Amino acid sequence: MFTRGKKCFSPALIVLYMPAAHTSLGICVSKKHGKSVKRNRIKRLLREAFRAVCPQLKGEYAFVLVPKQAQEYSLAAFSKSLKGALKREGLLP
**Spelled out in words, what is the top-level CATH class assigned to the domain 6-89?**
alpha beta
Q: State the CB neighbour count (10 A cutoff) for residue 73.
A: 19
Kindly report, residue by residue over 6-17, the tens digit of the pLDDT: 999 999 999 999
Kindly report, residue by residue over 15-71, the tens digit of the pLDDT: 999 999 999 999 999 999 999 999 999 999 999 999 999 999 988 999 999 999 988
b/e burial code for range 9-28 (CB count within 10 A of at least 16 → b):
ebebbbbbbeeeeeeeeebe
pTM, whole model, 2 decimals?
0.90
